[in-house]
Structure 1
Amino acid sequence: MPNVSCLRSLLILLCLIPATLAAQTIQWQEIYPGVWKGVAGKPDDYDLLKAAEITPSQALAKLSKEAFPLNKAEIQVQQNNGKTYLRLPLVKNEQLFGFGLNFQTVHQRGRIMQLHADHYGKTDNGRTHAPVPFYVSSLGYGVFVNSAKYIDVYAGSNVRKDSKNPPEVMDRNTNKSWSAHPYSDAVEMLIPAQGIEIYVFAGPKPINAIQRFNLLSGGGCLPPRWGLGFTQRVHRLYTSEQVKQEAKAFEEKGFPLDFIGLEPGWQSKSYPCTFEWDKSRFPDPAGFVKEMDAMGVKINLWTNPYVSPDAAIYKPILPFTGSHTVWNGIVPDLSMPQARKILFDQFEKEHVKIGVSGYKIDEVDGFDSYLWPDVATFPSGHSSEQIRQTYGLLVQKHSFEMFRRNNARTYGLVRASNAGGASFPYVIYNDNYSHEDFITALINSGYAGVLWTPEVRASKTAEEWLRRFQTVCFSPMAMINAWSSSTQPWTFPEVAAQVKAVAELRMRMMPYWYSEFAKYHYDGTPPFRGMSLEEGFSGNVIKEKTATDLEANPYEEALIKEVKDQYMAGEFLLVAPLFTGQKSRKVILPKGKWFDFYTGKLVGDGEIITISPGLDQIPVFVKNGAIIPMMPALLHAPKAEQKVDLEIRHYGDQNGSYKLYDDDGETFAYEKGIFSWRDIKVEKQKDGKLKGSISNAEANKPSTVGNISWRYMTE
């Protein structure tokens, strides 16, 4: 007979041995050209794409066929203790971008994060407003993990002992090249689920992988034209009369304004919210909204979704709320149709039906001491973690659908988003006020499938006010958010003229901005994006165009470092903002000739240039052959069917082409095919002169182009 004590000892030893990782087979399927879906184990029933309820864009099916961009055998999935480990290969010459909306870093290789919906706490650790589990490689592919859980990411930061490409072993005592962070050949993730759904996107270039990711999310949003004009947010306790006076002041001073944002005081109670008008400040809401609309100014309402006990919907929605409160308000489980119907029926009846144009949806991102804890429960059965990761998606999705039902486009603000949210017409904002961080976030938004806006709040000096103002004019939303200090565009008289000039420039450029957002919608190309996505940015530069030592700043060195203070705005524009106190700066120009936006003069050809532009203008540079359509500087965005004259600018000495987009700018008729693209061309004639042409408007399609003039900026 076996020795019982020996068997017992053996069993104890077996129990002490860590559970081995169980390898999982990934079942791959090419669901669209260049887009593969892989499933391993048993993924959660609720994920990011299910929360967003998106319909992938039809444009995906028309994309080019591409080979799978990675070695499938090197993509490994293993399970242990109810968690899934994912490993994807890296090679030495690739950089990583993405992993959500980061504010201080653009290069993500070597970093460790937990992707967790939260406010931005001044550290890029994965806790952010949009913790999108998507990254794109400089080698031209993208990866998305479709999970609504907190994901631990090791983005090429750790080394396995069985690595096929291990780093060189160095002796710190004798080798000056020793590093505390040795080379790693993999991205590794830990997902607290029993399986995963993973998507791989081919390029061949990084921008193509991002396009495919955005199109899988339904394509980018298409704002109404008025959404690309100016917005001013007024003091939280303003009355309807004070709001009217604010709008009149803008008009009297000739300053553009398209929508005004009302802060919490429009509601009878906020923190938590009733979603009902305060009748002492707004005695006739419908009349007020109608009167503002007649002035050409729409109304946007601040809110958060936490329901006050004094709200009319409190009792009906109570059974469909979570176990914990936020500021003593109950939390609707918006993953449940019952909760969504009660909340958004209230919004529709009280706000949208009287003409309110949109929302600023606050406090859905995080800060743990504000939001529900991870021990909270929700009646849907989804975990607190999953609701936290998707709440921004849910408020965007279902408020957007409310506007779609009313055939009125919206454009608003939100504090949180995630993968699947690209098609929702919301721009992320936060309480941070670092100008430099604003620009880094604007760059990273293009890698994450979201929109982010810088904003103008209180400023200590006229210089700071103007520098911040210049930035918002080259961003997704031109927002003045100085409601707390009641600062207005003309508050600093010494720069009032420059502020007005850049605001007018924003309005003049509306045909360009609108066409670039149309490309975001139909093609998935982010309208604002980092330099690494620009063709020719990684090429060599012969020399640096500066009077200083050329050896001090070789182009290769610039490429090694993160470039987070310049970005592309649409197809043709390179924006290089200056921050308060800066008198000069360096700008890295991609290959090819680049021209000054304001003068049309040549500034460089694939060089690093040093500029000292003065205070009046934000530096903007234009590609050779670029075409920029512009209109008069109106006080309000053009209405549906309103014809506007165009000045079409051409830069450089090359032929150029551009697609100008047109629709009614206000409704969802474009979803039924009621839109048009017009081809603009500039071609060099036999005599060497440039000549422009524009294709005819299509029959029975929108045509808002009036008279056309041509301006050849580099002649």
Structure 2
Amino acid sequence: MNRTFAILLSIFSVPFLLHAQKLPITWTKVATGVWKASIGQPQKFDLLGAAGIHPQTKALQTLGEADFPLPKVECIAELQQGKVYLRFPLEKEEQLFGLGLNFQTVNQRGRILDLHMDHYGGTDNGRTHAPVPFYVSSKGYGVLINSAEYLTVYAGTGLRTDSKHPPKIYNRNSDKDWDAQPYSDVMEILVPANGVEVYVFAGNSPMQAVQRYNLFNGGGVLPPKWGLGFTQRVPTLSTAADVRKEVADFKLHHFPLDFIGLEPGWQTKSYPCSFEWEPSRFSDPAAFIKEMKDSNSIRLNLWLNPYLSPSSQHYPQLTKYAGTHTVWNGLVPDLNMPQAVNLYKSIFTKNHINPGISGYKIDEVDGYDNWLWPDVTSFPSGISAMQMRQRFGLQLQSLTASWFKEKNIRTYGLVRGSNAGASSLPYVIYDDYYNHRDFITALCNSSFIGVLWTPEVRSSPTAEEWLRRMQAVCFSPMAMLNAWSDGTKPWTYPEVEQQVTDVANLRMQLLPYIYNAFAQYHFEGKPPVRAMNLADSFYYAGEATSAALNSVTNPYPLAIKQDIKDQFLLGDDLLVAPFFAGEQKRKVILPKGNWYNFYTGAYAGNGEVIEIPATLDHIPLYVRDGAIIPMIPAMERAPRKEEVWPLELRHFGAAAGKLSLYDDDGESFDYEKGRYMHYQFSVIKDANGKWQGSVTTDNPQQLSPQYNHFTFTFMGQ
């Protein structure tokens, strides 16, 4: 009898043994508008630690105080079978943005994502180059899960039995409104660990939540000016002579060029890498780097993947500080071990940075599973293989950037894998995926998660597609042409060579505006490229529902309820609406306020959907009412610090305008010591109704000005 009772007791006890344990959540204010909760037992290796963030507390204060944006009693954490289950409330009309670098969707409400560092495989499922566990709400707040584990996110998909706002129940047999995915009022995240850090960022708009996130992570990167010019990546086995010819060809065609990317062949060995120059192709690297910079104002960027070749003299030294598995037979350094970091620093400094290279293209730190180390790999620091995968690209960015900074040199490069905390790191994400439409969607999504993304240009099947891709890349964080595999040049399609050159020259003319947008990223946290959902003058879903939705008489509220993924803002005042190959026309959604055609100054619309015909000559650009767009003459390289240029100030619309234009030497970190200046421009009408422009400067340290002559142009007047 006792034996039977014991068996029954053990059977009926199982549910109680598996019952979730509620974990206390205490929110601690760590900066203005930012709160942190340490739930359970957070892990040693997380994302923000890998990025090495330095919160900009003073800049956060300028955004003003804010209340905790969520009902605390509805923020819930439970521990079950060694895993943390997080739950946050959602309102019915709330939209969710972020949750990684997605290529096909912007609003992530209603999606299930497994946030896992990987190549992007064509589906928005969480496997991507930047699986950032940060989401932004249309209600004006953001949530970061600071975990380096593979996370599963249910973004308003799981319908709970204890829902406070359950959906209406429909009968599929009789109700046409029946939906296979009923409305859910919770965001739920599964963290496969017994503890985690969570951050909440408050704001009065999605933009302000993003600003706080970026500023907490150190402020956005301020790249060197040359990094915003054009880069051409040359074929794999290019020699010094080939690079000289490439530079000469660009000059012959009067096409802008600021830095050359050398692909794997610059090394003695690659896949895995030696990190040493191949003497048959570059006999004197330091002399060649100096020649390129002094004679042509060209910088060099080196491709690498970070796996050390057995042919390297340093291989035996690294063995003790590397993982148990290799990548292409190369050692994977445990970057959580000081010995591995110091070894890589000595190799990179001696072979690359001291001779004068300007940056890196860090490849193959993202995926695929059958390429990278498997999840059964062990590392000497004790970090798990999964955590290493989520953090590895972040750590390489942070380390290499710090080695340049020690020499007071700004760098700007490319990387295949990034994650939360990357805002201040001088790298732009790229990949081999080549869908033009999806590239623009990724541009929009990058603005929510504190990373930069560029839609590179390489071979195209038609001249029109080549032009459309070129037009888009000219309004991206890096203007990258990639000829590594096929040798394509900007003038490969002569029938559109003039239009390609024109849009490239336009980017160069707009460098003061673009550089100023990056200054806003650094000092204010505003991303330079912005999804429309971050525009202050944009209607959100909650507002849209109050208007009658009608695709003919009232298309604007209807349009903004959809994913807006084919247009974006560059800085505060430029709206970019790319065309894609084969399109004869397109719709453009203009935010509230008057907008004007960039090229003519003509009025375009106000808070409405317009339709425009396709033209090869221009990428559609629209300017906010009262905006002042600073421009310099077209040139074949970015301005150098010792140069002085005339500045044209184009004013648009009928409203008075103001512009604070940031400037510094464009190369060093002296701006952190206060060595920068602001030009203050204003445009108002005088007593006779004529526009008048004025200029003042704020230059406390008496820097040599970059601009010495100012011309105001009143567009459309």
TM-score category by the smaller chain? over 0.9
Q: Is this contact kept in 2: 1:232–1:479, CA < 8 A?
A: yes
Q: Is this contact kept in 1: 2:676–2:699, CA < 8 A?
A: no
Matched, 1:642 2:650: no
2:461 aligns to what?
A: 460
**What amino acid maps onto 1:131 in structure 2?**
P
CA RMSD of aligned residues (A): 1.5
2:330 aligns to what?
A: 329
Cα distance in 2, alignment partners of residues 557 and 604 from structure 1 = 17
Cα distance in 2, alignment partners of residues 460 and 271 from structure 1 = 30
Cα distance in 2, alignment partners of residues 516 and 466 from structure 1 = 25
Cα distance in 2, alignment partners of residues 697 and 41 from structure 1 = 50
Cα distance in 1, alignment partners of residues 212 and 360 from structure 2 = 29
Secondary structure at the residue paired with 1:332? coil
Q: Is this contact kept in 1: 2:85–2:188, CA < 8 A?
A: yes
2:506 aligns to what?
A: 505
Secondary structure at the residue paired with 1:27? coil
Cα distance in 1, alignment partners of residues 105 and 26 from structure 2 = 34
Secondary structure at the residue paired with 1:236? coil
The Cα offsets for residues 514-551 of structure 1, whole Å up to 9 and x where unpaired, read as 0100000011000001111112221789xx9xxxx962
Cα distance in 2, alignment partners of residues 434 and 86 from structure 1 = 35
- The alpha carbon displacement at 1:93 in A equals 1.2
1:704 aligns to what?
A: 706
The Cα offsets for residues 189-217 of structure 1, whole Å up to 9 and x where unpaired, read as 00011112111111111100000000111
1:48 aligns to what?
A: 47
**What amino acid maps onto 1:445 in structure 2?**
S
Secondary structure at the residue paired with 1:300? strand
**What amino acid maps onto 2:53 in structure 1?**
I
1:38 aligns to what?
A: 37
The Cα offsets for residues 622-656 of structure 1, whole Å up to 9 and x where unpaired, read as 00001110111121111113211100111001011
After superposition, the Cα gap between the structure-2 partners of 1:18 and 1:109, relative to the gap in structure 1 and judged at 3 Å, is farther
The Cα offsets for residues 279-310 of structure 1, whole Å up to 9 and x where unpaired, read as 01111111111111121110000000000001
Alignment of 1:553-632 (within 5 A): 554-632=555-633
Q: Is this contact kept in 1: 2:273–2:330, CA < 8 A?
A: yes
**What amino acid maps onto 2:350 in structure 1?**
K
TM-score (norm 2): 0.97
1:22 aligns to what?
A: 21
Cα distance in 2, alignment partners of residues 264 and 157 from structure 1 = 44
Matched, 1:67 2:71: no
Cα distance in 2, alignment partners of residues 167 and 550 from structure 1 = 27
Cα distance in 2, alignment partners of residues 62 and 697 from structure 1 = 19
The Cα offsets for residues 580-627 of structure 1, whole Å up to 9 and x where unpaired, read as 001110001111111001111111122110001411110010000011
Secondary structure at the residue paired with 1:709? strand
Cα distance in 1, alignment partners of residues 421 and 96 from structure 2 = 20
Q: Is this contact kept in 1: 2:324–2:379, CA < 8 A?
A: yes
Alignment of 1:17-166 (within 5 A): 19-58=18-57, 59-166=59-166
Cα distance in 2, alignment partners of residues 82 and 298 from structure 1 = 50
Q: Is this contact kept in 2: 1:653–1:714, CA < 8 A?
A: no
Q: Is this contact kept in 1: 2:117–2:128, CA < 8 A?
A: yes
Cα distance in 2, alignment partners of residues 281 and 472 from structure 1 = 30
**What amino acid maps onto 2:609 in structure 1?**
I
% same residue = 55
Matched, 1:184 2:184: yes
Alignment of 1:357-372 (within 5 A): 357-372=358-373
Q: Is this contact kept in 2: 1:313–1:343, CA < 8 A?
A: no
Bigger shift: 379-388 or 557-566?
Answer: 557-566
Cα distance in 1, alignment partners of residues 434 and 247 from structure 2 = 26
**Which runs of structure 1 show a deviation greater than 3 angstroms over 4 or more consecutive aligned residues?**
15-18
The Cα offsets for residues 35-60 of structure 1, whole Å up to 9 and x where unpaired, read as 11112211111111111111111312
Cα distance in 2, alignment partners of residues 604 and 15 from structure 1 = 65
1:203 aligns to what?
A: 203
The Cα offsets for residues 10-59 of structure 1, whole Å up to 9 and x where unpaired, read as 12331365611000110111111111111221111111111111111131
- The alpha carbon displacement at 1:341 in A equals 1.1
- The alpha carbon displacement at 1:689 in A equals 1.4
After superposition, the Cα gap between the structure-2 partners of 1:7 and 1:308, relative to the gap in structure 1 and judged at 3 Å, is same
Q: Is this contact kept in 2: 1:444–1:530, CA < 8 A?
A: yes
Alignment of 1:523-538 (within 5 A): 523-538=524-539
Cα distance in 2, alignment partners of residues 391 and 524 from structure 1 = 24
The Cα offsets for residues 409-441 of structure 1, whole Å up to 9 and x where unpaired, read as 100000011011110000000010000010000
Alignment of 1:445-456 (within 5 A): 445-456=446-457
Secondary structure at the residue paired with 2:569? strand
Cα distance in 1, alignment partners of residues 7 and 606 from structure 2 = 77
1:302 aligns to what?
A: 303
Q: Is this contact kept in 1: 2:568–2:576, CA < 8 A?
A: yes
Secondary structure at the residue paired with 1:410? coil
Cα distance in 1, alignment partners of residues 676 and 36 from structure 2 = 32
Alignment of 1:316-355 (within 5 A): 316-355=317-356
Secondary structure at the residue paired with 1:330? coil
**What amino acid maps onto 1:12 in structure 2?**
I
- The alpha carbon displacement at 1:570 in A equals 0.6
Bigger shift: 530-539 or 267-276?
Answer: 530-539
Cα distance in 2, alignment partners of residues 81 and 480 from structure 1 = 50
Q: Is this contact kept in 1: 2:583–2:614, CA < 8 A?
A: no
Bigger shift: 588-597 or 670-679?
Answer: 670-679
**What amino acid maps onto 1:247 in structure 2?**
V
Secondary structure at the residue paired with 2:497? helix
Cα distance in 2, alignment partners of residues 555 and 522 from structure 1 = 33
Secondary structure at the residue paired with 1:347? helix
Cα distance in 2, alignment partners of residues 18 and 91 from structure 1 = 33
2:387 aligns to what?
A: 386
Cα distance in 2, alignment partners of residues 313 and 643 from structure 1 = 47
1:377 aligns to what?
A: 378
Bigger shift: 86-95 or 314-323?
Answer: 314-323
Listed as ranges, the gaps of 5+ residues in structure 1 are: none
Cα distance in 1, alignment partners of residues 682 and 614 from structure 2 = 31
2:715 aligns to what?
A: 713
Secondary structure at the residue paired with 2:538? coil
Listed as ranges, the gaps of 5+ residues in structure 2 are: none
- The alpha carbon displacement at 1:312 in A equals 2.4
Cα distance in 2, alignment partners of residues 528 and 550 from structure 1 = 28
Cα distance in 1, alignment partners of residues 119 and 96 from structure 2 = 23
Secondary structure at the residue paired with 2:325? strand
Matched, 1:12 2:11: yes
- The alpha carbon displacement at 1:61 in A equals 3.4
The Cα offsets for residues 455-506 of structure 1, whole Å up to 9 and x where unpaired, read as 1100111111111000010000001012211110111111111111111111
Alignment of 1:374-453 (within 5 A): 374-453=375-454
- The alpha carbon displacement at 1:239 in A equals 0.7
Cα distance in 2, alignment partners of residues 371 and 12 from structure 1 = 43
The Cα offsets for residues 307-345 of structure 1, whole Å up to 9 and x where unpaired, read as 000112212211110010000101001122211111121
Cα distance in 2, alignment partners of residues 395 and 602 from structure 1 = 47
**What amino acid maps onto 1:355 in structure 2?**
G
Cα distance in 2, alignment partners of residues 13 and 622 from structure 1 = 68
Alignment of 1:650-669 (within 5 A): 650-669=651-670
TM-score (norm 1): 0.97
Secondary structure at the residue paired with 2:332? strand
**What amino acid maps onto 1:620 in structure 2?**
L
**What amino acid maps onto 1:385 in structure 2?**
M
Bigger shift: 675-684 or 179-188?
Answer: 675-684
**What amino acid maps onto 1:286 in structure 2?**
A
- The alpha carbon displacement at 1:678 in A equals 2.0
1:274 aligns to what?
A: 274
Q: Is this contact kept in 2: 1:508–1:631, CA < 8 A?
A: yes
**What amino acid maps onto 1:79 in structure 2?**
L
